[in-house]
C-alpha cells in the first residue's frame, strides 16, 4: 500500500543546516530532528522533549528564559503531543540554544521515522479517575525507547482510565488503564450505589436484596463501582493496561485494534520492545505499523507477541 504521509523532508532541517557554512550542529550525534522549518526565512521551531507533557516549574522557568532570549517573536507553542516548542529561532543559533537547554537538562525532541516522545494524561498520581501511573510509564518509554529507528514514525501514549484522554485508539501503540473489580458479599449492604455509579449499566441491583448483579461484558473496567462503594465490598483485584495497536491520525486516520485486554505494568517495556522488533522486521520504509499489520496480517503480529500477551487473561474473567 502506498503511504502518502511521509513527512516532507524538505521542511526538516536535519540535512540543510550542515550546508549553510554557519555554526555546525552535529545532528548525527543527536538522533536528529526537533527543528522544524517555518515559513519565515532562516527561522525554525525548536521542539522540546517533554514526555507526558510534564515539566518541573524550576525547569519551566529556565526554559522561559531561553525561549525569551532566542525566539525572535517571544512566543512558545504547546505541540499537539504535549511538548513545548520555541518558535522563531534562527538556525544560526541552534548550537547555542541546544547548549543552553542541555545545561538545564532539557533535551530537544525528534521528527522522522523513529519512536517519538510518549504522551500521557495525569494518571493515578493526582487524577481521581486514574488507574495507572501514566506519567511514570511515559517517562520509562522516553528513557528506554526514544529515538529508536522504525520504518516510519512510532507514536505511543498512556491513558489512565477508559475516558482515554490520551487517545490510545489513535496511536501506533497505546496503553489505557483498567482495573478488574471484584465483589465480596459479606461486606455488601445492598445500598445500590454501585449500580447508580456505573455509567455502563454493567451492574444491576437485585430487586429484593439490592446487591449487585455484574455483567463483565458491559464493563469498561473504570473502577467507578470501587470508588463509590461505601463499604469496600467492591475492591480492585488487579490493575493493568488495554494495549492497542495500529492507530494513527493524519489525512487517513485509522483506529487502533485492541491486542491485549490486561497487560500488567511490568510487561509494558517488553511489549513495546517486541512490537518495535516486529515492526522493524515486517514494516516497509515509510509504512506505519497499522498499514503493516493490514498487509502482513494481525495474526502474524499476535503470534509473534504471544510470549508477552499470553497469561494476560481478560479482565472480568
Residues lying near other proteins in the complex (CB under 8 A) = 128, 189, 191-193, 196-197, 199, 224, 227-228, 230-231
Look at residues 178, 181, 262, 185 and name the one whose alpha carbon lies nearest to residue 228. Answer: 181
Identity of the residue, 128 or 307, whose beta carbon is nearer to other proteins in the bound complex: 128
Burial letters 248-275, b for 16+ CB under 10 A, else e: beeeeebebeebbbbbebebbeebbebb
Q: How far is the CB of 229 from other proteins (least distance, A)?
A: 8
Identity of the residue, 220 or 263, whose beta carbon is nearer to other proteins in the bound complex: 220
Cβ atoms of 283 and 151 within 8 Å: the answer is yes
Q: How far is the CB of 217 from other proteins (least distance, A)?
A: 21
Identity of the residue, 178 or 198, whose beta carbon is nearer to other proteins in the bound complex: 198
Q: How far is the CB of 127 from other proteins (least distance, A)?
A: 12
- Three-state SS for 145? helix
Look at residues 136, 129, 137, 178 and name the one whose alpha carbon lies nearest to residue 156. Answer: 137
Q: How far apart are CA 252 and CA 257, in angstroms?
A: 16
Identity of the residue, 233 or 272, whose beta carbon is nearer to other proteins in the bound complex: 233
Q: How, if at all, do strands 84-90 and 76-78 pair? A: antiparallel
Identity of the residue, 42 or 200, whose beta carbon is nearer to other proteins in the bound complex: 200
* C-alpha distances in Å from residue 84, one per residue of 3, 8, 280: 29, 22, 29
Identity of the residue, 64 or 189, whose beta carbon is nearer to other proteins in the bound complex: 189
Identity of the residue, 175 or 234, whose beta carbon is nearer to other proteins in the bound complex: 234
Q: How far is the CB of 113 from other proteins (least distance, A)?
A: 44
Instruction: Give me 277's grid cell.
Output: 522488533
Instruction: Give me 178's grid cell.
Output: 483498567
β partners of residue 175: 158, 243
Q: How far is the CB of 210 from other proteins (least distance, A)?
A: 8
**DSSP for residue 71:** -
Q: How far apart are CA 238 and CA 259, in angstroms?
A: 19
Q: How far is the CB of 187 from other proteins (least distance, A)?
A: 13
Q: How far is the CB of 121 from other proteins (least distance, A)?
A: 19
Q: Kindly compute the dihedral angle of the four CA atoms of residues 301, 304, 305, 311, in this order, to the nearest 10 degrees.
A: 120
DSSP conformation letters of 73-96: T--EEE-TTS-EEEEEEEGGGHHH
Q: How far is the CB of 255 from other proteins (least distance, A)?
A: 28
Look at residues 277, 64, 273, 259 and name the one whose alpha carbon lies nearest to residue 151. Answer: 277
Identity of the residue, 199 or 295, whose beta carbon is nearer to other proteins in the bound complex: 199
Amino acid at each position: 500500500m502506498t503511504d502518502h504521509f511521509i513527512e516532507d523532508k524538505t521542511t526538516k532541517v536535519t540535512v540543510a543546516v550542515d550546508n549553510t557554512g554557519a555554526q555546525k550542529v552535529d545532528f548525527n550525534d543527536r538522533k536528529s530532528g526537533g527543528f522544524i522549518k517555518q515559513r519565515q526565512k532562516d527561522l525554525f521551531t525548536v521542539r522540546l522533549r517533554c514526555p507526558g507533557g510534564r515539566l518541573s516549574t524550576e525547569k519551566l522557568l529556565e526554559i522561559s528564559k531561553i525561549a525569551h532570549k532566542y525566539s525572535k517573536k517571544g512566543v512558545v507553542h504547546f505541540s499537539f503531543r504535549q511538548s513545548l516548542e520555541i518558535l522563531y529561532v534562527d538556525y544560526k543559533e541552534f548550537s547555542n540554544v541546544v547548549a543552553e537547554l542541555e545545561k538545564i537538562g532539557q533535551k530537544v525532541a525528534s521528527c522522522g521515522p523513529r519512536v517519538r516522545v510518549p504522551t500521557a494524561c495525569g494518571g493515578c498520581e493526582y487524577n481521581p479517575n486514574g488507574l495507572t501511573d501514566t506519567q511514570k510509564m511515559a517517562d520509562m518509554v522516553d528513557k528506554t525507547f526514544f529515538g529508536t529507528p522504525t520504518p516510519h514514525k512510532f507514536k505511543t501514549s498512556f491513558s489512565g482510565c477508559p475516558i482515554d484522554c490520551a487517545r490510545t485508539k489513535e496511536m501506533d501503540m497505546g496503553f489505557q488503564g483498567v482495573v478488574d473489580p471484584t465483589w465480596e458479599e459479606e461486606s455488601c449492604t445492598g445500598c445500590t450505589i454501585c449500580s447508580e455509579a456505573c455509567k455502563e449499566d454493567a451492574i444491576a441491583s437485585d430487586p429484593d436484596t439490592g446487591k449487585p448483579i455484574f455483567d463483565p461484558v458491559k464493563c469498561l473496567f473504570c473502577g467507578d463501582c470501587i470508588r463509590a462503594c461505601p463499604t469496600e465490598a467492591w475492591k480492585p483485584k488487579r490493575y493493568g493496561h488495554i494495549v492497542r495497536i495500529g492507530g494513527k491520525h493524519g489525512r487517513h486516520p485509522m483506529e487502533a485494534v485492541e491486542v491485549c485486554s490486561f497487560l500488567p505494568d511490568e510487561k509494558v517495556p517488553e511489549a513495546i520492545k517486541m512490537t518495535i522488533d516486529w515492526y522493524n522486521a515486517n514494516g516497509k520504509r515509510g509504512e506505519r505499523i497499522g498499514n503493516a499489520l493490514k498487509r502482513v496480517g494481525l495474526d502474524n503480529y499476535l503470534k509473534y507477541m504471544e510470549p508477552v500477551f499470553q497469561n494476560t487473561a481478560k479482565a472480568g474473567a
